[in-house]
Structure 1
Amino acid sequence: PPRACDTYWSEFWHCKSLVNRFHHYYTYGTTPSCHQWKEDYYNCREWEKSRSTETKEALQRSERKRVAEQKNFDPVWELRCEPPKDWNLPLNQDNTEDS
């Protein structure tokens, strides 16, 4: 499997924690859905027991979906290709604004 089975279980319990639920509700206005973590855990355990291709494919689909969802978010900072032209000039510290 892509991850250790205990990792799925830890993610499930983190998702169900009161702190995470509060944070998710405050941020998004809804409670988080933890069902996929639990399902992935059971699929992982099943794969360890039987090595069936169906459960392995289910885990891989779930991981691919997670990676695709992470790529939907734009970075907070705009990355630049080169430093600013005046990066080595001294800072203008005399320009203070006293209101």
Structure 2
Amino acid sequence: MSENNVTQEQTVVNEKKVKHQEIYDKYSEWIRPCSIYKDEFKECKSFKGRFNQYYVFGEYLNCDQWRDDYNNCQKHSWFDDKEAGTSVIQSELSRRAARLKAHYDNDVWTKREHPPSDWNKPLPAFLAERSKYSYLTLKATELNEEEQLNAKSLSEPNKSSFCTFM
């Protein structure tokens, strides 16, 4: 009976290791440099950060996750601890899910699969006329003229200058 329990526990542990390895292999590039987690933790605990948290949320936020992420990042980078790396990745995934929650919950707009077929058609006449004298258009023509002058000066050497070696 105890051997059966041991093999079940080993199976569960092996399944967890496989799951951690799959997550690590798929999202390992999501682990940021450890200094970023340290900076985020320091910012969260700073006076300015606390003031901002109280102003925005009406309460102080828990900064423990940033500290845990920093510690796990250190373990991952120093000792190549895959489990710590997976913990950082899962934290990043949950942060991303929380940030994009409103986007995914938005049912006002239908999301399109492809851009419209006429996305690059010319502007209507009134918009083309209005943009003719825009700052962006003037700068673009100015840069094009400079490039043409530079190309011309490189292709035609100056005939009035002389270089002599003695």
Same fold at TM > 0.5: yes
Q: What's the % identity of the aligned pairs?
A: 31
1:42 to 2:71 alignment: yes
Pick the structure with greater CA Rg: 2
Cα drift, residue 68 of structure 1: 0.5
Q: What is the TM-score normalised by the length of structure 1? A: 0.71
Gaps of 5+ in 1: 89-99
Q: Which gives a bigger RCO, structure 1 or 2 (Cα 8 Å, sep 6+)? A: 1
Question: What per-residue deviation string (whole Å, max 9, x for no partner) do you get for residues 35-91 of structure 1?
Answer: 01110000011011221221111011000011001012359xx9xx99xxxx85xxx
Task: Give yes or no for the alignment of 1:72 onto 2:109.
Answer: no
Distance 1:18 1:11 in 2: 13
- Partners of 2:85 and 2:60 lie apart in 1 by 29
Q: Which runs of 5+ in 2 are unaligned?
A: 1-27, 110-115, 120-125, 128-166
Say which structure is richer in helix: 2
Q: Distance in 2 between matches of 1:30 and 1:72?
A: 21
Question: Which residue, 6, 10, 23 being the options, matches 2:39?
Answer: 10
Relative to the length of structure 2, the TM-score reads 0.44
